[in-house]
Amino acid sequence: MSIFHQMAGGDYEQLVFCQHRETGLKAIIAIHDTTLGPALGGTRMWPYRSEEEAVVDVLRLARGMTYKAAVAGLPLGGGKAVIIGDPARDKTDALLRFYGGFVDTLKGRYITAEDVGTCQGDMDIIHRETAHVTGCDPAGGGGGGDPSPFTARGVLYGIKASVKKRYGVDSLRNLVIAVQGIGHVGFNLCRMLAGEGARLVVADINARALQRAVGEFGAVAVPADAIYKARCDVFAPCALGAVVNDRTLDQFRCTIIAGAANNVLAEERHGHALRRRGILYVPDYVINAGGLINVADELHGYQRKRVDERVARIYNTVLEIIATSEAEEISTHRAADMLAEQRIKQAGIFKKTACREVPKVG
């Protein structure tokens, strides 16, 4: 694997490897693009099978954050970090503090937040070593706290927009929605969907989470591999990515795919394949931007009302992307990419112009 080849292919700016022998810390920080502002993205802790797998994941995730921030209209670039390890076994306060120290050495080029395998409490520990962290405890002046309810709210808006487009209705009542993954975001989404009158089918490797969803929302639980074949109106992936792949593509029995997971498409060609099958795909980094919007607002003096208004805009953004997809006869993920790339390009042109106009001194 040529790392520089990987970076050049995706126009990445920086890849940082961090290690600390005593705590067992092995972390990788990827900064994709800072044209719009400093790179903000969560820290994921996962027991990757190899260092190569971790590098591929962090690069993909960082690029997704660039596009997510651009489409959401935020003055931020894209970055991501992964810590190689089992969060249930390997995560310690000392490891997180040393990691926070490494984040601090980047002097604000990268700002971290929680992700899979980390939580608000972990951000509080990291905050002891660096100010370049969001999503900390609001009681300690951290701002918005846990971003997962805001991510779920944005997904709800995206589902509503796609349902409006596909079925011409404003209500989710009696629609069948299959939710894959009942973690923090997935559970919050289930609560909101149940409140809208939707009928839920759920799957998760965590039996306790499944039982809770069944008990509280009247959801129907199915085995993890059976969720792809569930007959539903909307399939909402809320676990790990790459769930639309060669193996699953022909299994889907839905008309819409819209969920909180990152990198839902294993490859870009799978987005084109969904379009050919008549399945409306809502690009992941568009629909799951609510959490980023929430933590990003901490950088400007957190205001809950402002966050709620920005998260609500996801509804119109989804409709805009679907309209572009139809007008240009392209997949929705390509339409979303075009919107993000246009905003980044415009910002880059503005920066270059501003630099040329700065008068020389001396």
Output the CA–CA distances (angstroms, integers) from residue 38 to 109, 186, 353, in the order listed: 5, 28, 20
235 vs 249: CA distance, rounded Å: 12
98 vs 112: CA distance, rounded Å: 14
pLDDT in tens, 67-113: 999 999 999 999 999 999 999 999 999 999 999 999 999 999 999 99
pLDDT in tens, 295-307: 999 998 999 999 9
Judge if 3-62+78-140 and 148-341 fold alike in CATH terms: yes
189 vs 113: CA distance, rounded Å: 20
Q: Does residue 360 surpass a pLDDT of 80?
A: no
Enter the pTM of the model. 0.89
CB atoms within 10 A of CB 97: 18
How do the domains of the chain map onto residue ranges?
A: 3-62+78-140, 148-341
Q: Mean per-residue pLDDT for 185-214?
A: 97
269 vs 163: CA distance, rounded Å: 24
Could you tell me the pLDDT band of residue 241, with boundaries at 50, 70 and 90? confident
Q: Does domain 148-341 have CATH number 2.40.50.100?
A: no
Share of the chain above pLDDT 70, in %: 95
102 vs 231: CA distance, rounded Å: 47
261 vs 254: CA distance, rounded Å: 17
Output the CA–CA distances (angstroms, integers) from residue 282 to 77, 257, 333, in the order listed: 22, 6, 7
CB atoms within 10 A of CB 328: 11
Cα dihedral value 8, 9, 11, 12, nearest 10: -70
Provide the strand spans (E) within 190-297: 199-203, 220-221, 234-237, 256-257, 280-281
357 vs 26: CA distance, rounded Å: 44
* N residues, the chain: 362
Q: What integer pLDDT is reported at residue 137 of this predicted model? A: 86
Q: Crossing angle, helix 148-167 and helix 184-195, to 10 degrees? A: 50
- Helices marked H in 90-183 — which ranges? 93-105, 120-126, 148-167
Q: Mean per-residue pLDDT for 240-269?
A: 95
CB neighbour burial string for 302-321, b if at least 16 within 10 angstroms, e if fewer: beeeebeebbebbbebbebb
Q: Which CATH class is domain 3-62+78-140?
A: alpha beta
Q: Mean per-residue pLDDT for 3-19?
A: 95
Could you tell me the pLDDT band of residue 358, with boundaries at 50, 70 and 90? very low
3-state secondary structure of 133: strand
Q: Write the CB contacts of 342 (distance below 8 Å, at least 6 apart in sequence).
A: none
Q: State the burial class of residue 138 (Cβ atoms within 10 Å of its Cβ: 0-12, 13-18, 19+).
A: middle
Q: Which of 80, 107, 305, 345 is catalytic?
A: 80
Could you tell me the pLDDT band of residue 356, with boundaries at 50, 70 and 90? very low
pLDDT in tens, 120-174: 999 999 999 999 999 998 876 666 778 899 999 999 999 999 999 999 999 999 9
Q: Does residue 45 surpass a pLDDT of 70?
A: yes
309 vs 129: CA distance, rounded Å: 32
Q: Write the CB contacts of 359 (distance below 8 Å, at least 6 apart in sequence).
A: none
Q: Answer for the pair 72, 289: CB distance below 8 angstroms, yes or no.
A: yes
Q: What integer pLDDT is reported at residue 255 of this predicted model? A: 98
Could you tell me the pLDDT band of residue 14, with boundaries at 50, 70 and 90? very high
Q: Answer for the pair 202, 222: CB distance below 8 angstroms, yes or no.
A: yes
Active site residue 80: yes
**Residue 54, both tokens:** 């971790």
